[in-house]
Amino acid sequence: MRSEAYRRMVAEREADDKLRRELAHRDQVATRRAALWKARGRRYRHCTLTNFEAVGTQVTVRAAVRDYLHNLTDNIRNGVNLILIGPKGTGKDHLLAAMFDETLDKGFSIKWTSGAALWSRFRSAIDQDRTENQVTAEYITPDVLALSDPVPVCGALTPYQAAKLYEIVDARYNHCRPIWTTVNCQDGSAMAESLGGQVVDRIRDGAVSLACNWGSFRESRK
């Protein structure tokens, strides 16, 4: 029979191991959080679901985002995409950013980019002596890809942009890694016209799609 001293020693070692794991997790979360906000800037850093101004249908959309977070682990592991679609200025990026802290706290990695930054990243790859495959991997490997408005400000995607976006979306689709995206379009038809049917077909498959069809917060503050 093992002595009481031995049992205490084992318990202390297990407690030490647990503490080390918790500290390592905190360091990892802090590093990921700092990198995310350094890359994206301070604009949305303090966005939460609580401080999202909601009335009418906005309350329903906010509740759906909260429900997605309630089932976050299963949604991420099952590759459930989230689409926030509607006119510009309706707070879609606020809702997107409000999901990040809880996601990071649970140990998941996030890559957040705008469509403009995504295409700029590919253009600068040559200057930085990186291959297209290396750049593409940056958007395929994270647990969550948060893509803020991939629709070009003027016109449609170029054939090159459409091909790269499809490559990223298709790889994440095949690996069941979710994409959370905001899209400045009126509806799914306009989204398909801007991004291409194959891309949208994969993003919308089994996704939580939320219509943010209300007035612009920015316009109301002018």
Classify burial at 138, counting beta carbons within 10 Å of its beta carbon; exposed 0-12, middle 13-18, buried 19 or more.
Answer: middle
For residue 99 the two structure tokens come to 């999901």
Average pLDDT, the chain: 89
What does the pLDDT read at residue 105? 93
Provide mean pLDDT across the span 12-28: 82
Q: How confident is the model at residue 81 (pLDDT cuts 50, 70, 90)?
A: very high
Rounded mean pLDDT of 47-68? 96
- For a pLDDT cut of 90, what percent of the chain falls above it? 54
| Superfamily classification of domain 44-220 | P-loop containing nucleotide triphosphate hydrolases (3.40.50.300)
Work out the pLDDT band at 122, boundaries 50, 70, 90: confident
Confidence of residue 2 (pLDDT cuts 50, 70, 90): low
Q: Tokens 């593409």 appear where?
A: 136
Euclidean distance between CA atoms 155 and 115, whole angstroms: 13
Q: State residue 138 phi and psi, 5-degree precision.
A: -60, -25
pTM: 0.87
In 3D space, the residue among 61, 43, 62 whose CA is nearest the CA of residue 51 turns out to be: 62
Higher pLDDT, residue 187 or 61 = 61
- What's the pLDDT at 129? 64
pLDDT of 220: 61
User: Which is more confidently placed, 127 or 45?
Assistant: 45
Average of per-residue pLDDT across 121-129 = 74
CA–CA separation, 22 and 96 (whole Å): 27
Is residue 149 pLDDT above 80, yes or no?
A: yes
CA-CA distances (angstroms) from residue 4 to 1, 8, 15, 16? 9, 6, 16, 18
Among 98-107, 121-130, 210-219, the range of highest mean pLDDT: 98-107
| Whether residue 130 has pLDDT greater than 80 | no
